[in-house]
Amino acid sequence: MLDTYIDLKDVRVTGYVSMGLIALVAAESIWGTINDWQGGSSSWSFLAIMLVVPAGVASIVWFRGVTHNAEAIALHGVRTVSQVWKASDPAQREVPFAQRVASPLIKPWQWAFLAMVLCDVFESLLLDTPFYVVFSTLSTLCAIGAGGLACFLVFRISIMQRRFAVPQRKRG
């Protein structure tokens, strides 16, 4: 029997950078909301928005790498996080791609992220009103949920793909 090796990009560093920046965005959002409760400046919210840009760039770089890897693993067109999960899950390696199951945490992460963005928009529109603090708080809660789920998904997909980057025995 021969060993097979799938040449994959190492996505751990971009994954760690993405997770770190996502965690910074969530932490800054918490700090900004605490500051809002105390009647402080809204500049903290602006800083959170500015941290979103490098977090987004790092996440896109990571996603391009895991998408490339997922296509190499599954030999199938992969474009979404759900498809990346399905392709990367070694437990589903023998299951036809169309029948594979993605993580049930992907949809909650997407909804929490969307809710965070919408709350940020309302927060910006209601800057000098009493509702500002309400949407600032809701945005922070969504940021904590979306950030935690995103970090879990990035970590898990990166780990699953590393399992394919080591020599494996071909089955006879």
How many domains is the chain partitioned into structurally?
1
Per-residue pLDDT reduced to its tens digit, 109-125? 999 999 998 998 898 89
Q: 170: Cβ–Cβ under 8 A, 6 or more apart, which residues?
A: 1, 2, 3, 4
Q: What is the pLDDT of residue 1?
A: 42
Distance of CA 131 to the CA centre of its chain: 29
Could you tell me the residue range of the domain that residue 37 belongs to? 3-169
Asked if residue 148 lies in contact with residue 19, where contact means CB atoms within 8 angstroms, the answer is no
Q: In DSSP terms, which residues pair with 4 in a beta bridge? A: 168
Per-residue DSSP letter, 171: P
Q: Residue 38's CB: how many other CB atoms inside 10 A?
A: 8
Q: What angle do CA 88, 142, 115 make, to 5 degrees?
A: 85
Q: What is the pLDDT of residue 2?
A: 42
The identity of residue 11, as a single letter, is: V
Query: pLDDT tens string for the chain (172 positions)?
Result: 444 557 788 999 999 999 999 999 899 888 888 887 887 666 666 676 788 899 999 999 999 999 999 999 888 889 999 999 999 999 998 999 999 999 999 999 999 999 998 998 898 898 888 898 899 899 999 999 999 999 999 999 999 998 886 555 555 5
- Residues 35 and 39: their CA atoms lie apart, in Å, by 7
Terminal Cα-to-Cα distance of the chain (whole angstroms): 7
